[in-house]
């Protein structure tokens, strides 16, 4: 079960965190992977590519800024030309910026949405014609419980983007169901990644440690927890599931406080 043998997956934000873990797990499940990474990212994509290869997979790393349509077009073209197809897209690239709402400019709001929400749509839009021609595929995105379920002070543009992904997958699921293309998202809870460990724009190490005690299962999430959800959604076993945002948060969203 949950095999991806012979399939080609494009994963953005693949240099670290959830994207890197998803790339490794997909490779273990038999996929060939295009690793989309942002050149301004301080994390090196090379160890991820090496991990994919060590797992028996094939990895091609491609620089991409998902706020640029031409970059996304090139990313998909590499999957088609170098790996021979496109079966799964995991639109995972995202940024977080802490800005008090009253100080948030139009430009800053637009810049974050251009990556975290419109960037997801760009990846999906570019993949759709090729998946239609192939008779199906999987379009997957990273949302968040911040936006999809909760608010997050000083992050109104981030939560707006992550909530927007919920609506995006619902409508695209209806638009594409007859084409054999399913569209779903995962809404992680607090997951320990380089982004969440940033004390300036996210929680930081101290807040992460404190939050873990409030999680019903007794710990924060790991990137591998979210990668496992993506593997299921990418697999044949999830063929009857579409338009959904799967909350993977250790039970946090079940609580009032």
Q: Which residues are part of the catalytic machinery?
A: 158
Report angle CA 254, 163, 79 to the nearest 5 degrees.
Answer: 115
Write the CB contacts of 144 (distance below 8 Å, at least 6 apart in sequence).
158, 159, 162, 187, 188
The H-or-E segment that residue 185 falls in is strand 181-188
User: What's the Cα-to-Cα distance from 72 to each of 66, 198, 226, rounded to whole Å?
Assistant: 6, 27, 23
Q: Which residues pair with 157 in a beta bridge?
A: none
Among candidate residues 97, 117, 233, 250, the one with its CA nearest the CA of residue 188: 250
Q: Is 102 exposed, middle or buried (0-12, 13-18, 19+ CB in 10 A)?
A: exposed
């Amino acid at each position: 079960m949950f095999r991806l043998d012979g399939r080609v997956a494009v994963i953005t934000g693949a240099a670290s965190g959830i994207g890197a873990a998803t790339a490794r797990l997909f490779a273990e499940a038999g996929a060939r992977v295009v690793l989309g990474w942002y050149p301004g990212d301080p994390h090196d994509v090379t160890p991820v590519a090496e991990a994919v290869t060590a797992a028996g997979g094939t990895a091609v790393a491609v620089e991409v800024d998902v706020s640029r349509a031409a970059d996304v077009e090139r990313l998909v073209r590499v999957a088609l030309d170098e790996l021979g197809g496109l079966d799964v897209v995991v639109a995972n690239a995202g940024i977080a910026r802490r800005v008090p709402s009253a100080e948030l400019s139009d430009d800053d709001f637009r810049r974050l949405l251009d990556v975290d929400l419109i960037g997801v749509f760009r990846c999906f839009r570019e993949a759709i014609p090729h998946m239609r021609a192939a008779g199906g595929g999987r379009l997957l995105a990273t949302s968040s419980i911040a936006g999809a379920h909760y608010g997050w002070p000083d992050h109104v543009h981030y939560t707006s983007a992550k909530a927007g992904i919920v609506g995006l997958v619902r409508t695209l699921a209806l638009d594409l169901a007859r084409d054999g293309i399913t569209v779903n998202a995962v809404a992680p809870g607090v997951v320990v990644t380089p982004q969440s460990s940033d004390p300036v724009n996210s929680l930081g190490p101290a807040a992460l440690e404190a939050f873990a005690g409030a999680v019903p299962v007794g710990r924060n999430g790991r990137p591998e927890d979210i990668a496992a959800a993506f593997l299921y959604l990418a697999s044949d076993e999830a063929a009857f599931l579409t338009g959904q945002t799967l909350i993977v948060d250790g039970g946090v969203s079940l609580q009032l406080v």
